[in-house]
Each structure stands twice: as C-alpha cells, then as structure tokens.
Structure 1
Amino acid sequence: MNVARVILALVFCTFFTASYFTNKYVLSILMFTFPTIFQGWQTSTGALLLLVTWKLGLVEINGLSRSAAFSQLPGSFLFIGNIYAGSKALSLLPIPFFFVLQNVSEVFAFLIVTVTHREKPPWMKLLSVCMLLGSAASVMVYNPRFGPSGYTWASIHLFCVGAYKVFQKNTKTSLLSDLEEQFINYVTSSLLLASLAYSTGDLSGALDFPLLTSYSFHTGCLGSAIFSFCLMLATVKLKGSLSPEHCGVWFFLAKILASGLSLLLSTFNTVLSPVTQCCIILNYAGEALFAYSDRFK
C-alpha cells in the first residue's frame, strides 16, 4: 500500500471516530432526543454539500435518470431506517456496545446471501458467526440496564444495515455510482424525515429544547453534519482505492480506535466490567475472523 492510500485510510479513521463522537455527544451528553430533526439536519446538509462539491468539480455526479432513481428507493428506505434506528441506539448505548451489535449486521447479510444462493460456508466463517452472535448476546445479558429500548433500536439498526448490504450486492447497477446512490439517499431521507418531524411533534419539541441556543449544541450539530459528510466521501474514496479485503481491515481498525478512545474520554463516562470487556474482545476477534475466513476455504 503506497503512502497516499495510507493517508487516505488514516483520514477515514479520523472522520469515522469524529463522526461517532460528535453524534454521541449531541444525542447522549446534550440529550437531544429528536432523531427525525437530527438526522434530517445531517442528510439535508449532506445533500447540500454534495451539490456544492459537485458544482465545484470536486466530485463527479452524472445526470440521474428517473428509472435509476426509482431503483434506489428501496435502498433509500433502508438507509432511513438505518440512520433513524442508529441514532436512537447510539443515544442509549455506549459506543463499544453499539459496534458490537452493529457487527451482527454482517451475520444477517451473510445468512441471507447463503440461503438465497444455497452456498456452503467454510467452517471458519461459521465459527466467526458464532463468535459474533455469542458475544453480542452476552453483552445484552450482562448489561440489562441498557435494554430493552437500546437493544431493540440496535436490532432494528443492524437489520437495516444488513438488508442494505444485501440490496447493494444484489441490485448494484452501473447506472448509479456510490455518490449518486448517496445523493438519492440524502434527498429521500431529508424529505421523509421532515414530514415525520412535523407529524410526530418532534419539531415543536425540538423548538422547546433547553440547549437550543447554546454554543455547545450548535457546535455539536454543525460538527456532526460536516464529519458525517466527510466520512461518507472518505468511505467512497477508500472503497474506490482499496480492495474489499483492505477496506475491511481499515473499517475494523476504525471501530477499535473509536471504541478505545471512547473508554478513555471522561465525557462519555463508559465503565466496563471484566466480563463485558471479554465479550467485546471476542466480538472483534469474530469480526476479524469473519473478514478473512474466505481465504481458508
């Protein structure tokens, strides 16, 4: 791997960690519990920034045909479920727990592909699946104070993440690039979340939020939108520059970095028991084995 790719990967890890930290800060520390408003702000800002960067010639977006846009709509609805449920889960769970449960989305996608394609998985892949499921279940059993709401939203989140991966794999078309798919996701999410914010009363509730005019709230929301957009661009660039195997390695390292730093920061006040620490380590070991099990067929 050359120096430019290493720098790109490090930039990706930086934005990955910063994005989750700012989201966690707004959702948990500031307790802004209005995901329709929060995610609507992020997706509308993302759509606007994507348009600006396109007009400046920094990214390439071709003309979107109506048929191509409609073909992406199922994925856009899964994307909305992903970010909405993910916000609810992240607001209730520590960052390491969130990643442990999110990793189960790989199992969900793997099981769907295995059943539909009638493939016989290697035994190491099955072992990694057991490690991921067992560690995630153990985290929930040994930390019941975060359930049922936190674990329920995390389950919806991992379902949407896994289903979106299957959707991308089975319906990926040359008509849309990754950035064009993301632009459709942004626009669809902005429109739907705006209507939901009004119909559910989140808009009036957000206007009464005690910290609405505070500097920390404005800084956190602005940072979350910018870091999320930069993370999206870095992710697209990383996938275009590295093989899926190398991308998986950097995603894995980014999660470890974010989890480890979240335990060191007093802001999040995360304390883990020895049993929970072992479960998290087992989960990451299962993720690593899952990523590399194909080479042992």
Structure 2
Amino acid sequence: MNLSRSVLGSVFCAFFVVSYFINKYVLSVLKFTYPTLFQGWQTFIGALLLLVSGKLGWIEISSFPRAAALAWLPGSVLFVGNIYAGSRALSRLPIPFFFTLHNASEVISLLILKVTHRERMSWMKLFSVNLLLASAINLPIYDPQFNAGGYIWALAHILCVGAYRVFQKKASHLSDLEQQYINYVFSVLLLAFAAHPTGDLFAALDFPFLMSYQFHSGCCASALLGFFLLLATVKLRSALPLEHCGAWVFLAKVLTSGLSPLVFKIEVNPETLCCILCSLGGEALSVYSEKA
C-alpha cells in the first residue's frame, strides 16, 4: 500500500515539474505571451480528452443536471481568472517567485472563510499564514529584477485561486473531474470570444516561432501534460488523506523551484532567497497543521 502511494505521489511530482517547465518554456523562452490562445488551447485539449476518456470508460464522469452546471459557473469564472492571470504572471516571474506569491492564496482562502463562516484556526495555522503573507509582501520589495506587470497579474491570480478554493469547498457536490470538465468547456468558450478583443489572435500571427518545431511540440506537450497532471491530482486526492496530498504538492513545488535554476535563468539575492525559503516553511507548517 505504501509503495503504491509512493509511486502515485512520484508520478504526480513528475507531471507537476515537467508541466511547469514546459509552460514556462513556451511563455518565457519562446515568449508566446497570448494567454487567450495558449490557455484556450490547453483547456480545449483538456475538455476533449476528458470527454473521450469518459466515453471510453477510462474515467468516471457522471451525467449531471444543467442546474448543477449553472450553479458551478461562478467557480468556472474564477478558474478562468486563475489560469489567465497565472499565465501572465508566470511569463514574467521566475518559477520560485511565482510559487512564493501563489502560496499567499492560502491567506485569501482563510480570510474569506473567517469573514463568511467565522472559522477559527490554530496558532500553528495562524503562524504559517503570517509567514506566507510576509514572504509574498517582501518579495517584490527586494526583487532585483522587479516586474510590476508580473506582480499585478500574480495578485489577480492569488485572489482568484483563494476564492476558487473556498467556492470549491463550500458550493458544489460535483466530483473533481465534473468540475474540471465544466471549467474547461466554459474556459474554451470565454477565451475563444476574448481572443479577438484582446488582440491576441492577430498578434499571434506575427509570432516568430509560429511554424517552429519547438513551438508546436511545446504547446502539444503542455496540453497533454496538463491533462495527465489533472488525472494524477484527482487520483492522489482520492487515494490519500488531505494532509498527505498537501505533502506531495509541497514536495512537487520544492522540486520544481529547486530544479528551475538549472533550466531557466534566475537572479536571486539573499533577501529574495529568504522570502522563498520562508514561504516554503510556511507551506510546510500549514500542511503539518492539517495533520495536527
């Protein structure tokens, strides 16, 4: 049993690391910064693969009433904001910096729960939240390659992620795959309509790597890896307790952050390194508090 769980966690970590690296490569190295097209392509492939896999019986997606899908639409709106703003932020920020800011979404979730449901938290959870918040606030102050646009998009990203977690926890009886299928279909429709007003559609026609092997292979790999990461995440959540899932997610972020300087150019000073380490420490403490 422990061996199967370790294999499952290792597969999740592998998909997590490679997926982020491919996305970062397309967004930052190839500089394909057109989120309506890039995210639209990923969600289209994700929806298609979920539909085909469900029809073939490889995964279980039960038929759900239209009312349930409509009730989930606010979550889909937050999901689109999450992936759109996250794509913008990731294209401008190093991966360890992106994770440091992303971790602060936990603060947003807890604030919403505190205000709406008056939930109490342990001193350990409170301390971890303060570490996450302090790391995210101080990172842009000491960033030697400060990018205002990257941090603004990261702020929008963490607001959407934090609100999405609360909505997912409190407002739906759909399974994870059913939620994601609705998210994908809604995202494809919304991003397709947004591609023209944002100018992404025509700007992409002048993209220098449009016909290159690197671009096409990167886009195909990102869509497939995103789908496999989704399946690995759902399987992990169904097979392991919440705190164990959190530990694997934490390990995946550590691996991705630690290996990213070997692949991408990153400029880090002692202050930003301290922010990164404090954020990881806050996340580790948050995961441990779930177990405690």
1:263 Cα deviation from its structure 2 partner: 1.5
Aligned to 2:209: 211
CA-to-aligned-CA distance 1:144-180 (integer Å, 9 cap, x gap): 633311000000000000000000111121xx21111
Aligned to 1:228: 226
1:295 Cα deviation from its structure 2 partner: 5.2
- The amino acid of 1:269's aligned partner reads K
- The amino acid of 1:128's aligned partner reads S
- State how far apart, in whole Å, the 2-side matches of 1:126 and 1:86 are: 26
- State how far apart, in whole Å, the 2-side matches of 1:294 and 1:276 are: 27
- State how far apart, in whole Å, the 2-side matches of 1:144 and 1:129 are: 25
1:178 aligns with 2:172: no
**What's the RMSD between the two structures over aligned residues?**
1.2
Alpha-carbon contact 2:40-2:191 (below 8 Å) kept: yes
Aligned to 1:103: 103
- State how far apart, in whole Å, the 2-side matches of 1:200 and 1:270 are: 30
Q: 1:292 aligns with which of 282, 288, 291?
A: 288
Aligned to 1:247: 245
TM-score, reference length from structure 1: 0.95
- The amino acid of 1:55's aligned partner reads K
Q: Which runs of 5+ in 2 are unaligned?
A: none
- State how far apart, in whole Å, the 1-side matches of 2:70 and 2:144 are: 41
Taking the TM superposition and a 5 Å limit, the aligned residue runs for 1:85-124 are: 85-124=85-124
Percent of residue pairs identical: 60
1:270 aligns with 2:266: yes
Aligned to 1:129: 129
- State how far apart, in whole Å, the 1-side matches of 2:117 and 2:183 are: 28
CA-to-aligned-CA distance 1:210-257 (integer Å, 9 cap, x gap): 110000000110111011111011101110110100000000000000
1:19 Cα deviation from its structure 2 partner: 0.8
Q: What is the aligned length? A: 292
Could you say what secondary structure the match of 1:199 adopts? coil
Aligned to 1:282: 278
TM-score, reference length from structure 2: 0.97
- State how far apart, in whole Å, the 2-side matches of 1:151 and 1:200 are: 20
Could you say what secondary structure the match of 1:32 adopts? coil
Alpha-carbon contact 2:93-2:147 (below 8 Å) kept: no
Alpha-carbon contact 2:144-2:269 (below 8 Å) kept: no
- State how far apart, in whole Å, the 1-side matches of 2:204 and 2:39 are: 13
- State how far apart, in whole Å, the 2-side matches of 1:63 and 1:276 are: 48
